[in-house]
Structure 1
Amino acid sequence: MRGRDLINNGLPDELILEILQRLDSKPSRDACSLVCKRWLHLERFSRTTLRIGASFSPDTFVTLLSRRFPHATSIHVDERLSVSLPSPPPLKRKRGSNKSSSSSSSPSSRKRQKVSNKTRSGGENAESCSLTDAGLIALADGFPRIENLSLIWCPNVSSFGLRCLAQKCTSLRSLDLQGCFVGDQGLAAVGEFCKQLEELNLRFCEGLTDVGVIELVIGCAKSLKSIGVAASAKVTDLSLEAVGSHCKLLEVLFLDSECIHDKGVVAVVKGCRRLKSLKLQCVNVTDAAFSVVGEFCVSLERLALYSFQQFTDMGMMFIGKGCKNLKDLTLSDCYFVNCTGLEAIARGCKELTRIEINGCHNIGTRGLEAVGKSCPRLTELALLYCQRIGNSALYQIGKGCKSLETLHLVDCAGIGDSAMCSIAKGCRNLKKLHIRRCYEIGNKGVIAIGKNCKSLTELSLRFCDKVGDVALVAVGKGCSFLQQLNVSGCHQIGDVGISAIAKGCPQLTHLDISVLQNIGDMSLSELGEGCPMLKDLVLSHCHNVTDNGLNHLVNRCKLLETCHMVYCPGITSAGVATVVSSCSHIKKVLIEKCKVSERTIRRAGSIISYLCLIIWRHKFGWDLKMCKSKCCKNIVIQNLYHICSQLLIFVQKTLSLTTLNHQILYALATSLLSFVSGTRALERSQKGDEEGSLDRNDMATKPLQTVFPTAPSTRGLCL
């Protein structure tokens, strides 16, 4: 009967709530909330997870969200992510209205116009885009039963706000304070009131010292299971000694600090016998600490070591002898570990399922052959920048590791087609293959993959110059379950190869064909016919693609969400408008600003990201300017300081670089940091901040003085 919904009326609220709680994806929940007012009302009680990005007023958002979703228990605030709020449509003027009538609009319309203008400004005031103590207090008042809280890169949150939160949210189990400038008092309050805290992340919390960490450890000793500390110069071995003495249930430990030595690591290892995951980036930790790890950490399952300068094969032998349950091993930039150490791990840790070797230049073929012989349960292998590993190593992997499902190869000059043929014939369950800049791998190896690995879902062949259309034809015929393909930089691939993929891989959702000069409109037309599930498309630097091919694609690929097409001279503003108007699910379009018409901006301005060109001039005669688009404003300013700081630390650690390279890296990082500092200072001066342009958010000068007390001179340096 028209006007009546018998099914909806017959369902009780409890059953609808049960259905809504079983929906995993946010789009599905959003769609259900639009069914009717009743479902909209019930959906607010089923939503348990909220994510907030950088917006014009996160404090206000927190208050509004607490009213809309009172049962939320997990809240994630990440100010590295920009959120583009849709602006309200322009108000239609009545016939006969004039300027005087429009000026005397209602207060509500003026308020909407004010908010709209503020949103479209792209975040001119950086402070208003950051969560403050007021927002944290509102969060505590609105979500007293919160269990998981992430405050990532929220620089305006202080100890006062954290203390207010801890007093009211006593059920907190997970707390992430990455990049927050909180002090010891706030952390001590968490230890005093949040007795159920299990997970704590303190990465890049520069305001903390041993005092605050020790207070928290003592307060949460009976519940704490995971701790992460990174780039906190005032957190030393004293904190780790407290962890070892009190946190008997600790299972996960992540440390990235130059202030940690053997003493602190040994204290944790001896006191926390349940340790399962250990991730360390501590240049002052030596083999002596790992001798204790091998003796006491019998339950260790995951070990990740980064940039160790005093870790050798002796430490690897201790681990292989004692950590029999090890399943996941990561070695990154451990220059003093060679094949002997990897052999010891392979012989002792036969339960290994994942191995990643990144930049360990002394590990060669012999070490990886031992893995193939002794680790039959290996499912994932990643080899990055391993120049000494040859084809025979992967031959042994293919022979002994039949369960291998994921293989990553980056800049491995010694690996070629014969190695890939061995993997293809031996590892027929391979699902993910990612290869980048392995110039000896060509058509023969990829053809073998296409013929033997029928379950392949992800294939990436970035900048493999010897791979051509013949290889993709084999993949299209044999890998019908392929979902993601990246062939950017493979210059021999043209329309024939992409057309074969389009005909043989109907489940394709992600495709990157950037920097392919032989790709034209025929490929896009075939993709439109054969890949209706395509969601992400990257075709930047494809000079032969035009609006015509793009039109054929979007007419069939209605699920398209992202499209990158910069430096495509054949694509005009008409093509951009076609993408925006034809794809109802489109979320992001990356294009040059000159190719976006005013009409397209009005229609879909929130989903368009413009190409950002940075022109640099500091000490070398360049001009450093930033585009005023929302993309730059929200992303570059928030992340540039962290990137430059890491670059400075890298320069300090890599003392083996030549003097010229050392000066170049230092000059680049110094210029970027100066730019960030100047930009922030300009914003504060425009706002009228009386506290000065450099405070806890603008610490560009301090790292330069501490990391490089005697910085090399860049005078006369030419690039």
Structure 2
Amino acid sequence: MSFTGKKKEKESSPVTPLKKRRASWSELWVNHHHSLDFSSKFQSLTPPVSKSETLSSLLPDLTLLLPDLTLLTIIHKVPSPHRKTLSLVCKRWSRLHGGLVRSVKVSDWGFLASGRVISRFPNLDSVDLVSACSVPPPESSGVLVSHRVVGSSYQSLSFLLEENLLSVETVDRGLRTLASACSCLRRLAVANSSELGLLSVAEACSTLQELELHKCSDTVLLGVGAFENLQVLRLVGSVDGLYDDDDNDSLVSDIGLMIVAQGCKRLVKLELVGCRGGFNGVKDIGECCQMLEELAVCDHKMEPGWLGGLGYCENLKTLRLVSCKNIDLGECLSCCSCPALERLHLEKCQLRDKSSVKALFQMCEAAREIVFKDCWGLDNDIFSLAMSFGRVKLLCLEGCSLLTTSGLETVILQWHELEHLKVVSCKNVKDSEISPLMSALFSDLVELQWRPDTRSHLFSSLAGAGVGGKGAKFFKKT
């Protein structure tokens, strides 16, 4: 009885709460393992964030505290080749970088016509539009074909650049757009424009100093005469393989040169490429452009006797003739001379006519620097005419394969003021034929670049011999 009663008491007594049991290490590990799986699955659904992005989201952009003028000063300190990378940072940096750019070469005309050139680079003072003025054919392979006048992407030289030029109206509209926004323009290069387009530039850009015109004619030069402050002018008329034109009336003739002479009286440098002119045109240039110091003629189609007009260029210091098949001096040069001439450069010219070369050398007898580069017909007989130059200080011979050592020695021993001598790629000039007199001349030179052929060992044989002790510089490795 008592036993059953106690049992009933236990069953009827209220249940006392049990103490919470401490979790075991295995249970803790299992629970933590499940939480790690969940977090890893959650992270796999979110894109990864790099440390740099995390830092950039936490740190503010401190450059926003800098005013534009200060940031411009900082960007200006960066070397020019690396500034383009800075323009990719943000729109503000791109805008500031565009304000520092002064010169651009446009290859896509749509970039100019849409106004993006002006909005992207508002402070331009030099613009080259020559490449943008032509549209390559659709079958172009993208191969770059270079010409001594211009370079363009063409499949072959059979595609004439003239056939792919933009229309004159399109080019003129682009020039008006450019001139209206860039009043401080100082240099412009363009192709296939008209006199109206150039006049719009002349009215808006009164400070233009350098102008390069491709595919120009006498009519186009009516607009060039309006550039009163022009100092450098390059005219590209008819060039074989690029701007072919069978109509002689469309070339630059004496009429065009007279227009330039009357309008551009501050001209300092004039370059004529594929132009047709004569004695009268060059004479007017000399009489009106009294500040002219340099004249370059390339691929000339000039009339006989045109060089005789150089006698009226009293301040001409440099005369460059490039790719002239014949000099065509005529009879106007017999009593002409250029007393102020200092430099005569002849490159890829035909020097086979002895009488013409003699007259040219006599006209330029005051020259102090003479350069012959890849000139055909320059043998000992023709080079002997150079003894008329009495005050030569610099002589450069490059690619003159007909000239021999004796022919070179005969002339340079007569030049008592010679200080600089460069002989490169003249295969008939031999080290073994150098005389003692010529070696003594080498010792008095300020600078000597001697590499007539690949077998020349003069540099190594004279090293350490004290040759050239009178000059600051002697040998230059080429």
Distance 1:468 1:545, change over 3 A: farther
> Tell me, what secondary structure is at the counterpart of 2:132?
coil
Whole-Å separation in 1 of the counterparts to 2:259 and 2:294: 19
- The answer to whether the 8 A contact 1:472-1:497 is kept is yes
Q: Which amino acid aligns with 2:446?
A: L
8 A Cα contact 1:394 1:419, kept in partner: yes
1:565 corresponds to? 452
Contact 2:305 2:328 in 1 (8 A): no
**Are residues 1:350 and 2:237 paired?**
no
Report how far residue 441 of structure 1 moved: 1.1
* Match status 1:379 vs 2:268: yes
Task: Tell me the residue number matched to 2:103.
Answer: 253
Q: Is the 8 A contact 1:313 1:338 kept in 2?
A: no
1:426 aligns with 2:308: no
Match of 1:658 in 2: none
Cα deviation, 1:625-657, whole Å, max 9, x if unaligned, reads xxxxxxxxxxxxxxxxxxxxxxxxxxxxxxxxx
Residue matched to 2:93: 216
Question: How do 1:686-697 residues align onto structure 2 when only pairs under 5 Å count?
Answer: none
Alignment of 1:58-457 (within 5 A): 195=73, 197-198=75-76, 208=85, 211-212=88-89, 214-219=91-96, 226-227=100-101, 252-258=102-108, 260-262=111-113, 263-267=115-119, 272=123, 276-280=125-129, 283=132, 286-305=171-190, 311-331=193-213, 334-335=214-215, 337-346=216-225, 348-358=226-236, 361=243, 363-365=251-253, 366-384=255-273, 386=274, 388=276, 393-412=281-300, 414-422=301-309, 424-442=310-328, 444=330, 451-457=336-342
1: distance between equivalents of 2:195 and 2:409? 52
1:577 pairs with 2:455: no
Provide structure 2 residue ranges, at least 5 long, that are not aligned to the other structure. 1-51, 53-62, 134-169, 244-249
Where does structure 1 lack aligned partners over 5 or more consecutive residues? 1-159, 161-184, 228-251, 589-606, 610-719
- Which structure is higher in RCO with an 8 Å CA cutoff and minimum separation 6? 2
Q: Does structure 2 retain, via aligned residues, the 8 Å contact 1:416–1:445?
A: no
Task: List per-residue Cα deviations over 1:523-548 (Å, max 9, x = no partner).
Answer: 32541452454324125234265533
2:399 alignment partner, one of 495, 499, 514: 514
Q: Distance in 1 between matches of 2:91 and 2:339?
A: 54
Query: Partners in 1 of 2:173 and 2:77 — Cα distance?
Result: 28
Cα distance change of structure 1 residues 497 and 267 upon mapping to structure 2, 3 Å threshold: same
Mark the structure with the bigger radius of gyration: 2
Seen in structure 2, the aligned counterparts of structure 1 residues 389 and 474 have a Cα distance that, compared at 3 Å, is closer
CA deviation profile, 1:189-234 (whole Å, cap 9, x unmatched)? x9985625558886799x859644743344568xx5x41xxxxxxx
C-alpha distance after superposition, 1:454-488 (max 9, x if no partner): 11111022233246555665666665652321234
> Judging changes above 3 Å, is the alpha-carbon distance between structure 1 residues 214 and 517 closer, same or farther for their aligned structure 2 residues?
same
Alignment match, 1:659: none
CA–CA separation in structure 1 for the residues paired with 2:410 and 2:111: 58
Q: Cα distance, 1:429 vs. partner?
A: 1.6
Q: 1:98-117: CA deviations, max 9, x gaps?
A: xxxxxxxxxxxxxxxxxxxx
Q: Distance in 1 between matches of 2:297 and 2:78?
A: 33
Give the helix-richer structure, 1 or 2: 1
Deviation, 1:371, is 0.7
Closer, same or farther: CA 209–562 of 1 in aligned 2, 3 Å:
same
Matches of 2:352 and 2:79, distance apart in 1: 43
Between the aligned partners of 1:199 and 1:358, the Cα distance in structure 2 is 38
Contact 2:338 2:366 in 1 (8 A): no
Q: For 1:430 and 1:318, how far apart are their aligned partners in 2?
A: 31
Q: Is 2:397–2:424's contact at 8 Å kept on the other side of the alignment?
A: yes
Letter in 2 for 1:540: S
Whether contact under 8 Å (2:236, 2:272) holds in the other structure is yes
8 A Cα contact 1:503 1:530, kept in partner: no
RMSD: 4.2
The TM-score, its normalising length taken from structure 2, stands at: 0.61
Change (3 A) 1:474 1:392: closer
Q: What is the distance in 2 between the residues matched to 1:507 and 1:356?
A: 29
